[in-house]
């Protein structure tokens, strides 16, 4: 077989081989938070990690209600249905547990069985004050009265066990306020709905596994509903719901965008080149480029994100430029000269490729985890495309010399821009000069939520379900950090009294921290020691007198034995049913622990101010965290844009050794970006870091046009501009296809880049004067 | 009761049920007949005296008050001595109110709670589900020389818990004794108030229930 045939065989065999490798080796991920959330400090990183893979992320909140068809709205949901549903849900593969969040019996039993043994440790945050009151004559009488009341109460049989171990009922002292909280939970419960929490084994952001679980949940519910005399409805929320919805969105977008851009590119190619052979070569090259990029990304990161593929698919619009330029110039000469012609235009392509890579590398340096992938993906794609274009493509172009079909209007625009250049330039300068005054009204996006309006229905759903369950405001808490769990607990103990004061003043309705479930070891030991100091003979006699006065048994209750020395630790607590209540309130990392004190309705400013004086404590809002990230990303993106442009300027200066030429080459790109900014200043578009990322890409791509036009290595500016037109069309189509995506982020990129490359292309003949155009 | 979550004692509830269910049967009726006469159309008021012998008390505790039941399914107890308390069951809601301390508690019947088991008995009786009752308790019904006696004890284990319902031969139930596994006992002596009309009882229950829930 001739050398050419081997080359051809290898070239056309690569796509299926690479496709097989991709299917077998590549690990795809779709969690959006892993793409954009990184965190600037240790707390943010720990919280972000908890949001992505922590226990809470693996939980669903299920809300079962009566169907609208049900006649009797006032009747509660049938217990047997809920019981049966709970049992069947527990049997689903991957489900760890299902429980009623309002069910308190397990918690009450834990209080009785566990906490009685630590009565001398956990009874108070302010032991001195409390013990002084307890051991006064009035205080002991009150305790004795409490014992009597409890023994006679409907819960008497249960309290008896606690009272025998803890006659002074110190255990209850800490849980006083909790009784009010639990009572509120019961009374706030909406009788029209029964809520369940379902915990899964796999991470909430493992969308493919969670899709299966959601399907099973719905299936179980549907089957049970059919056999029930009443009809019920099921609503779900939780991190896995958002994850699956995002994945579905992304998959849909990737499929849609890929198909659309492939079809449109095919049409463009066919109309312009009228050659199946050319189409086959170019598309084979693109498939090799995309699949190789995916595999290289997998090699570097051990996974490939769905957004990388979605954004990377737009790389097609960039990498297609190099073979297009080569084909357009090579087709205009005989086969024997094609390699030479390719070698002639190659330096321009390399410079163009390098400037584009600079743009992507700047993106990768942003710190957004996902964009690092896009940078690697794009860089490897561009390099592979350049190499194949230079060393393989010309050798495969064995067709006869042809004249490329001219792109409509391009010749006309070239003519107009040449003959009316001064007039057009004046208009452009005036337009930019006057419009620039409006740039002040550019509106920056502050709320990251605006990037995902397509998920608004889920957010509303989430809010509606949570309102049925609890008065805790989601996403806002007092964050207490410490280098260890013990230190974090100690700091939290400084926060509780402040929160209590705020509660008294009405600035907050309630708060949900780790007290009384757990306090620091230091505080527990201090409580033990202080209590021992009060257990004098005199106090014990007073206690016996109080018991006698109330008719209680002095023999059984008169001896106050609180000598136990052990303290309660977090690990021990997390092994009890109480863990389900408190695991949302503490995150233990390698080098630090975060305690989250959740809040009822509150005044954010009051909280913020109150926490200012406590070291290690701050008012935290998830929304604010994301918005701070937005602000950071925006500032970073602005900086990277400046750095990217600066590096490109240095590169061009080194190449052209002329400031005028450098500025001319860069100006179409910069002006395209400026014109887009002007348009937004009039339309009121909220500019985000994603828009700035788009700018970076516009400049990186449009600089290529400036370079090709400036250098015109083929010697025929009309042919060069025709080649650029085809490049521009393919880029505009590739990025423009993203406009059909459901994801707002992708649509933003589409609008910015598609418009940018068109403007950059149009401006080239205006800005860069060529004397040898045909 | 500061700090407690206010669950009703299912034993008390079961006591309610027995009071209203068994009150107008004669001692000679077998359990099946008892079950058949479960559903009552009329509202009932019963006065009671309560004696409790508790291990942690120096001497027995005494209380008294009234118990009410309506056809709508509300069962309410108003303790008058030594101090006033209100307790009620309405479907799956358990309610408690201490007027002196102005403390209200509300809870739900929870499955899996051992104390709920007694209420399951109540439900079995209300629904005339003899099979369910027999599946939970051993029932012994005997006639002594002067009194009849029905004893309910746990089938699953020899926990020592039992409920003994008794009355004079051929007469209505007048005593219910609840024995806890730890030796604590509660004894109710009962007397129907036949002077009140059905409508009066219903109105009283409405008023007391309103006070209970804070209306």
What's B55's DSSP letter? T
Q: Which of A725, A649, A764 is nearest to A355 (CA)?
A: A649
User: What is the pLDDT at residue A94?
Assistant: 92
Q: Which of A431, A508, A526 is nearest to A122 (CA)?
A: A526
User: What is the pLDDT at residue B5?
Assistant: 36
Contact A9/B at CB under 8 A: no
| Most A CBs within 10 Å, among B56, B179, B213, to test the A interface | B56
Q: Which of A101, A100, A64 is nearest to A230 (CA)?
A: A64
Q: Quick one: average pLDDT of A633-661?
A: 85
Q: What total of structural domains would you count in chain B?
A: 1
User: What is the pLDDT at residue A405?
Assistant: 56
| Overall pTM > 0.90 | no
Cross-strand bridge partners of residue B107:
B94
Cross-strand bridge partners of residue B97:
B86, B104
Q: Could you read off the pLDDT of B144-201 as tens digits, one per residue?
A: 888 888 888 877 666 678 888 888 877 767 888 888 888 899 898 988 777 888 888 8
Q: Please determine, for residue A191, whether its predicted confidence score (pLDDT) is greater than 70.
A: no
Q: Quick one: average pLDDT of B41-67?
A: 89
Q: Could you read off the pLDDT of B67-78 as tens digits, one per residue?
A: 887 777 777 889
User: What is the pLDDT at residue A204?
Assistant: 80
Residue B7 CA from chain centroid, whole number = 15
For tokens 């005494």, name the residue.
B62
User: What is the pLDDT at residue A220?
Assistant: 95
Looking only at the bridges linking them, the beta strands covering A443-444 and A593-599 are: unpaired
Q: Quick one: average pLDDT of A286-302?
A: 92
Contact A156/B at CB under 8 A: yes
Q: Could you read off the pLDDT of A384-422 as tens digits, one per residue?
A: 999 999 988 888 877 666 665 577 888 888 888 888 888
User: What is the pLDDT at residue A501?
Assistant: 93
User: What is the pLDDT at residue A609?
Assistant: 92
Answer with the residue of higher pLDDT: B31 or A192.
A192
Q: Please determine, for residue A329, whether its predicted confidence score (pLDDT) is greater than 70.
A: yes
User: Shortest Cα distance from A18 to chain B (angstroms)?
Assistant: 58
Q: Quick one: average pLDDT of A322-343?
A: 82
Q: Quick one: average pLDDT of A66-73?
A: 61
User: What is the pLDDT at residue A138?
Assistant: 93
Confidence of residue A635 (pLDDT cuts 50, 70, 90): confident
Cross-strand bridge partners of residue B162:
B153, B179
Q: Which of A268, A384, A393 is nearest to A341 (CA)?
A: A393
Is A155–B2 a contact, with Cβ atoms under 8 angstroms apart?
no
Q: Quick one: average pLDDT of A82-107?
A: 84
Q: Quick one: average pLDDT of A364-377?
A: 79
Q: Please determine, for residue B112, whether its predicted confidence score (pLDDT) is greater than 60.
A: no
User: Shortest Cα distance from A535 to chain B (angstroms)?
Assistant: 21
Q: Quick one: average pLDDT of A34-59?
A: 65
Confidence of residue A190 (pLDDT cuts 50, 70, 90): low
- Indicate left, alpha or beta for B106 from its phi (over 0: left) and psi (-120 to 50: alpha): beta
Answer with the residue of higher pLDDT: A444 or B205.
B205
The DSSP element (H or E) to which A518 belongs, if any, is none
Cross-strand bridge partners of residue A99:
A197
Highest mean pLDDT (candidates A394-403, A623-632, B79-88):
B79-88
Q: Please determine, for residue A541, whether its predicted confidence score (pLDDT) is greater than 60.
A: yes
Would you call A615 exposed, middle or buried from its count of C-beta atoms within 10 A (0-12, 13-18, 19+)? exposed
Q: Please determine, for residue B7, whether its predicted confidence score (pLDDT) is greater than 50.
A: no
- The rounded percent of chain B whose pLDDT value lies above 70 is 65
User: What is the pLDDT at residue A526?
Assistant: 95
Q: What is the CATH number of the domain that holds B92?
A: 2.50.20.10
The answer, yes or no, to whether the previous bond of A241 is cis (omega within 30 of 0) is no
Which residue from B minimizes the CA distance to A154?
B9
Domain span at B102: 3-213
Structure tokens at A714: 């083929």
Q: Could you read off the pLDDT of A732-747 as tens digits, one per residue?
A: 888 888 888 888 877 8
Is A154–B12 a contact, with Cβ atoms under 8 angstroms apart?
yes
Looking only at the bridges linking them, the beta strands covering A443-444 and A59-66 are: unpaired
Query: Please, how many CA atoms are within 13 Å of residue A528, restricted to the half-sphere of its CB?
Result: 18
Contact A498/B at CB under 8 A: no
Q: What is the 3-state secondary structure (H, E, C) of A375-404?
A: HHHHHHHHHHHHHHHHHCHHHHCCCCCCCC
Residues of B whose CB is below 8 A from A164: 56
Distance between CA atoms of A240 and A52, rounded to whole angstroms? 10
Confidence of residue A177 (pLDDT cuts 50, 70, 90): low
Distance between CA atoms of A719 and A436, rounded to whole angstroms? 35
User: What is the pLDDT at residue A221?
Assistant: 95
Q: Please determine, for residue A546, whether its predicted confidence score (pLDDT) is greater than 90.
A: yes
Which chain B residues have any C-beta within 8 angstroms of a chain A C-beta? 1-9, 11-12, 52, 54-59, 61, 63, 87, 91-92, 96, 105-108, 110-113, 115, 180, 182, 184
In Å, what is the CA distance from B163 to each residue of A258, A516, B121?
A: 75, 38, 12
Residue A265 CA from chain centroid, whole number = 32
User: Shortest Cα distance from B90 to chain A (angstroms)?
Assistant: 12
Q: According to DSSP H, which parts of chain B are helical?
A: 10-22, 31-36, 116-126, 130-136, 198-213
């Amino acid at each position: 077989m001739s050398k050419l045939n081997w080359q051809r065989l290898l070239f056309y065999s690569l796509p299926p081989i690479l496709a097989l490798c991709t299917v077998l080796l590549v690990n795809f991920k779709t969690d959006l938070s892993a793409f954009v959330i990184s965190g600037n400090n240790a707390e943010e990183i720990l919280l972000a990690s908890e949001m992505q893979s922590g226990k809470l992320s693996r939980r669903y909140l299920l809300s079962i209600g009566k169907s609208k068809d049900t006649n009797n709205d006032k009747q509660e949901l049938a217990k047997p249905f809920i019981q049966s549903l709970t049992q069947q849900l527990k049997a689903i593969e991957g489900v760890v547990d299902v429980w009623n969040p309002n069910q308190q019996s397990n918690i009450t039993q834990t209080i009785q069985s566990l906490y009685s043994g630590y009565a001398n440790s956990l009874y108070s945050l302010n032991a001195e004050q409390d013990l002084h009151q307890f051991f006064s004559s009035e205080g002991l009488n009150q305790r004795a009265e409490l014992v009597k009341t409890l023994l006679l109460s409907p819960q008497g049989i249960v309290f008896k066990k606690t009272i025998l171990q803890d006659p002074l009922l110190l255990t209850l002292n800490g849980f006083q306020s909790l009784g009010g909280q639990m009572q509120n939970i019961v009374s706030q419960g909406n009788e029209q709905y029964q809520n369940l929490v379902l915990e899964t084994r796999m991470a909430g952001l493992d969308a493919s596994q969670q899709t299966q679980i959601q399907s099973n949940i719905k299936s179980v519910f549907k089957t049970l509903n059919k056999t029930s005399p009443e009809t019920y409805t099921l609503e779900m929320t939780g991190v896995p719901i958002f994850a699956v919805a995002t994945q579905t969105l992304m998959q849909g977008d990737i499929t849609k965008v890929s198909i659309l851009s492939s079809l449109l590119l095919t049409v463009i190619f066919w109309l312009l080149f009228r050659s199946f052979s050319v189409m086959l070569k170019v598309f084979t090259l693109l498939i090799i480029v995309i699949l190789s990029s995916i595999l290289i990304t997998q090699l570097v990161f051990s996974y490939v994100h769905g957004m990388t593929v979605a954004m990377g698919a737009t790389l097609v619009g960039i990498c297609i430029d190099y073979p297009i330029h080569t084909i357009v110039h090579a087709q205009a000469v005989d086969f024997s000269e094609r390699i030479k012609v390719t070698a002639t235009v190659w330096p321009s392509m390399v410079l163009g490729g390098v400037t584009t890579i600079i743009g992507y590398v700047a993106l990768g340096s942003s710190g957004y985890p996902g964009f690092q992938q896009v940078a690697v993906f794009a860089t490897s794609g561009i390099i592979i495309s350049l190499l194949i274009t230079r060393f393989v493509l010309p050798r495969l172009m064995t067709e006869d010399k042809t004249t490329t079909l001219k792109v409509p209007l391009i010749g006309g625009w070239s003519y107009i821009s040449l003959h009316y250049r001064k007039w057009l330039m004046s208009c452009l300068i005036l337009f930019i000069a006057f419009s620039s005054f409006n740039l002040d009204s550019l509106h920056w996006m502050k709320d990251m939520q605006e990037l995902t309006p397509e998920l608004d229905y889920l957010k509303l759903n989430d809010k509606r379900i949570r309102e049925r369950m609890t008065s805790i405001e989601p996403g806002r808490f007092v964050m207490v950090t410490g280098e260890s769990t013990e230190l974090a607990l100690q700091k939290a103990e400084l926060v509780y009294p402040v929160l209590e004061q705020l509660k008294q003043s009405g600035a907050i309705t309630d708060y949900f921290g780790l007290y009384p479930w757990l306090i620091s070891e230091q505080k527990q030991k201090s409580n033990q020691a202080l209590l021992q100091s009060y257990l004098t003979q005199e106090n014990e006699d007073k206690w016996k007198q109080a018991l006698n006065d109330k008719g209680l048994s002095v023999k059984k209750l008169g001896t106050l034995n609180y000598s136990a020395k052990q303290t309660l630790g977090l690990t021990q607590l997390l092994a009890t049913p109480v863990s389900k209540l408190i695991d949302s309130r503490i995150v233990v990392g390698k080098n630090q622990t975060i305690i989250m004190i959740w809040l009822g309705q509150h005044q954010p400013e009051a909280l913020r101010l109150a926490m200012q004086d406590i070291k290690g404590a701050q008012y935290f809002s998830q929304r604010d965290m994301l918005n701070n990230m937005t602000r950071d990303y925006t500032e970073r993106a602005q900086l990277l844009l400046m750095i990217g442009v600066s590096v490109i300027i240095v590169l061009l200066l080194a190449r052209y050794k002329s400031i005028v030429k450098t500025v001319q080459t860069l100006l179409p790109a910069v002006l395209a970006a400026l014109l887009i900014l002007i348009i937004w200043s009039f339309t009121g578009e909220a500019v985000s870091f994603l828009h700035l990322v788009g700018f970076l890409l516009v400049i990186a791509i449009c600089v290529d046009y400036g370079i090709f036009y400036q250098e015109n290595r083929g010697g025929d500016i009309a042919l060069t501009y025709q080649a650029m037109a085809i490049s521009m069309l393919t880029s505009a189509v590739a990025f423009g296809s993203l406009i059909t995506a459901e994801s707002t982020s992708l649509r933003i990129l589409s609008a910015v880049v598609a418009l940018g490359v068109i403007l950059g292309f149009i401006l080239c003949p205006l800005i860069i004067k060529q004397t040898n155009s045909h | 009761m500061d700090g407690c979550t206010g669950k009703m004692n299912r034993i008390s509830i079961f006591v309610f049920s027995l009071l209203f269910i068994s009150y107008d049967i004669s001692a000679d009726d077998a359990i099946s007949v008892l079950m058949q006469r479960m559903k009552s159309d009329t509202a009932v008021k019963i006065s009671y005296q309560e004696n409790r012998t508790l291990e942690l008390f120096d001497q027995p505790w005494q209380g008294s008050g009234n118990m009410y039941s309506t056809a709508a399914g509300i069962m309410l107890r108003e303790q008058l001595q030594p101090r006033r308390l209100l307790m009620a069951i309405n479907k799956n809601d358990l309610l408690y109110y201490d007027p002196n301390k102005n403390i209200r508690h509300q809870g739900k019947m929870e499955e899996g709670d051992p104390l709920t088991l007694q209420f399951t008995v109540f439900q079995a009786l209300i629904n005339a589900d003899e099979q369910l009752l027999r599946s939970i308790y051993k029932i012994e019904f005997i006639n002594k020389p002067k009194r009849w006696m029905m004893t309910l004890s746990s089938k699953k284990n020899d926990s020592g818990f039992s409920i003994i319902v008794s009355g004079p031969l051929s007469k209505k139930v007048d005593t219910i004794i609840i024995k806890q596994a730890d030796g604590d006992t509660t004894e109710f002596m009962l007397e129907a108030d036949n002077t009140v009309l059905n409508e009066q009882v219903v109105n009283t229950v409405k008023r007391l229930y309103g006070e209970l829930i804070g209306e």
